[in-house]
Structure 1
Amino acid sequence: MVVGICYGETSLTEITFISDKMPKVGEYVTMEYDGKKVLGMIENLIRGNDSLNVDINDFKAIQKISRIGADDNYIKGKVKILGDVNDNLRLPRTPVLPGTEIRLADKEVLNEIFKVKNPIKLGSLVNQSDVDVNVEANPILSRHLAILAMTGAGKSNTVSVLIDQLLGYNVPVFVFDMHGEYKDAEFPNGEVNVIKPKINPQYMDIYEIKKLVHIGGNSFIQERHFRRAFKEAKKMLSDGVAPSNNFLQIMYDILEKDSQVEGSDKQIVDVMNKIDDSMDRYSNIFDKDIGNILSNIKKAHVNVLDLSQVDEYVASVLVSHILRNSLQRSKNLAHTGNKEDLLNNSVFFILEEAHILAPNKRDSESKRWIQRIAREGRKFGLGLCLVSQSPKTVDHDALSQMNNMIILRLVEPEDQRHVQSASESLSQDLINQLPSLNVGEAIVLGLMSKVPTLVKIDMFKGRRHGDDMDIISYFKESVKKEEEDLKQKEQETLDMGYDY
Structure 2
Amino acid sequence: MSEDENQISIAKIAKKSTPYSFTVNILAKLHRNSYLTTIHEKKSYVLGVKNIWNDHNGNHATLNIIGKAPLTPFNLDSDIFLASSEQIKNSLGLENNPEKAIHLGKIPNVDIIASPNIENFGRLFITGKSGSGKSYTVGVVIEELMKKQVPIVIIDRHGEYSSLKILEKENIPDNEDFFIKNDTEQKYLGGIIEFGDINMNPGADLGIEYLLAANVEDLIRSGSVIIINLRGLDIPVQENIVMTFCNRLYKASTLREIPPHFLFIDEAHLFAGKKKSDTVEILKLSAQEGRKFGHNLVIITQKPQLLDVIIRAQAGTWIIHKLTDLNDIKITCNSVEGLGYDADEEIQNLLPGEAIISGDLTPNYPLRVKIRKRYTVHGGAGYNVLDYITEGDTLPKSEIVEKLRRSLSHEILESASQEIISNQNLSISDLYHQIDALRQENQELKQEISDLKTNDKDKSLIPEGEMKEKIIDNLAELNSIPLEKINDKMMNLMEERDDAIINLKDFEKERNDAIFQKQSLELEMSGLKVENEGLKDILSKEKKRADDAVALAERAVAKLKKRK
Structure 1 residue 427 and structure 2 residue 407: aligned?
Answer: no
Structure 1 residue 112 and structure 2 residue 97: aligned?
Answer: no
**1:384 is matched with which residue?**
297
2-structure distance, mates of 1:288, 1:81: 49
Note the C-alpha offset of 1:400.
1.4
Tell me the secondary structure at the aligned position of residue 183 of structure 1.
helix
**2:24 is matched with which residue?**
17
Tell me the secondary structure at the aligned position of residue 426 of structure 1.
coil
- Relative contact order, higher structure (CA 8 A, sep 6+): 1
**2:349 is matched with which residue?**
436
Residue type at the aligned position of 2:95: K
Structure 1 residue 144 and structure 2 residue 143: aligned?
Answer: no
**1:75 is matched with which residue?**
59
Q: Deviations over 1:270-299 (max 9, x none)?
A: xxxxxxxxxxxxxx9767993335533343
The counterpart of 1:297, out of the listed 220, 223, 230, is: 220
Note the C-alpha offset of 1:427.
1.2
Note the C-alpha offset of 1:30.
0.9
Show the 5 A alignment for 1:417-496.
417-449=330-362, 450-466=364-380
1-structure distance, mates of 2:124, 2:210: 33
Count of residues in correspondence between the two structures: 342
The counterpart of 1:348, out of the listed 262, 269, 281, is: 262
Note the C-alpha offset of 1:162.
0.8
Residue type at the aligned position of 2:219: N
Tell me the secondary structure at the aligned position of residue 72 of structure 2.
coil
The counterpart of 1:134, out of the listed 115, 120, 138, is: 115
Q: Deviations over 1:53-91 (max 9, x none)?
A: xxxxxxxxxxxxxxxxxxxxx1121111113xxxxxx22
1-structure distance, mates of 2:28, 2:212: 70
Tell me the secondary structure at the aligned position of residue 157 of structure 1.
helix
Residue type at the aligned position of 2:25: I
1-structure distance, mates of 2:132, 2:211: 42
> RMSD across aligned C-alpha pairs, in angstroms?
2.4
**1:3 is matched with which residue?**
10
**2:247 is matched with which residue?**
324
2-structure distance, mates of 1:400, 1:456: 26
Note the C-alpha offset of 1:2.
2.7
Using a 3 Å threshold, how does the CA distance of structure 1 residues 289 and 432 change in structure 2: closer, same or farther?
closer
Q: Is the 8 A contact 2:240 2:279 kept in 1?
A: yes
Q: Is the 8 A contact 1:316 1:364 kept in 2?
A: no
Using a 3 Å threshold, how does the CA distance of structure 1 residues 448 and 116 change in structure 2: closer, same or farther?
farther
Show the 5 A alignment for 1:265-414.
290-293=213-216, 295-333=218-256, 344-359=258-273, 361-414=274-327
Note the C-alpha offset of 1:157.
1.4
Using a 3 Å threshold, how does the CA distance of structure 1 residues 399 and 133 change in structure 2: closer, same or farther?
same
Residue type at the aligned position of 2:18: S
Q: Is the 8 A contact 1:177 1:351 kept in 2?
A: yes
TM-score (norm 1): 0.64
Tell me the secondary structure at the aligned position of residue 75 of structure 2.
coil
Q: Is the 8 A contact 1:396 1:422 kept in 2?
A: no
2-structure distance, mates of 1:288, 1:163: 20
Note the C-alpha offset of 1:439.
0.9
Note the C-alpha offset of 1:411.
1.8
The counterpart of 2:148, out of the listed 159, 165, 169, is: 169
Q: Deviations over 1:358-388 (max 9, x none)?
A: 11x3222222111111111111011111111
Q: Deviations over 1:161-205 (max 9, x none)?
A: 11111111100111000110112423664326334359xxxxxxx
Q: Deviations over 1:441-478 (max 9, x none)?
A: 11111111243211111011211311899xxxxxxxxx
TM-score (norm 2): 0.57
Question: Going by fraction, where is helix more abundant, 1 or 2?
Answer: 2
Q: Is the 8 A contact 2:216 2:248 kept in 1?
A: no
Note the C-alpha offset of 1:6.
1.2
Using a 3 Å threshold, how does the CA distance of structure 1 residues 395 and 356 change in structure 2: closer, same or farther?
same
1-structure distance, mates of 2:157, 2:292: 27
Q: Deviations over 1:188-239 (max 9, x none)?
A: 64326334359xxxxxxxxxxxxxxxxxxxxxxxxxxxxxxxxxxxxxxxxx
Tell me the secondary structure at the aligned position of residue 15 of structure 1.
strand
Residue type at the aligned position of 1:194: I
Q: Is the 8 A contact 1:6 1:98 kept in 2?
A: yes
Note the C-alpha offset of 1:332.
2.3
Gapped regions of structure 2 (runs ≥ 5) = 1-7, 168-177, 180-187, 198-206, 384-564
Q: Calculate percent identity across the aligned residue pairs.
A: 24
Tell me the secondary structure at the aligned position of residue 180 of structure 1.
coil
Tell me the secondary structure at the aligned position of residue 322 of structure 2.
coil
2-structure distance, mates of 1:116, 1:375: 31
Residue type at the aligned position of 2:372: D
Tell me the secondary structure at the aligned position of residue 432 of structure 1.
helix
Q: Is the 8 A contact 1:194 1:303 kept in 2?
A: yes
**1:46 is matched with which residue?**
53
Q: Is the 8 A contact 2:231 2:382 kept in 1?
A: no
Show the 5 A alignment for 1:234-253.
none
The counterpart of 1:95, out of the listed 73, 78, 90, is: 73
2-structure distance, mates of 1:123, 1:288: 34
Using a 3 Å threshold, how does the CA distance of structure 1 residues 47 and 468 change in structure 2: closer, same or farther?
farther
2-structure distance, mates of 1:327, 1:145: 17
Q: Deviations over 1:14-49 (max 9, x none)?
A: 211121434221321111111111111101111222
**1:229 is matched with which residue?**
none
Note the C-alpha offset of 1:116.
5.0
Note the C-alpha offset of 1:399.
1.4
Structure with higher Rg: it is 2
1-structure distance, mates of 2:378, 2:354: 20
Deviates more, 1:14-23 or 1:456-465: 14-23
**2:164 is matched with which residue?**
185
2-structure distance, mates of 1:428, 1:369: 33
2-structure distance, mates of 1:442, 1:185: 22
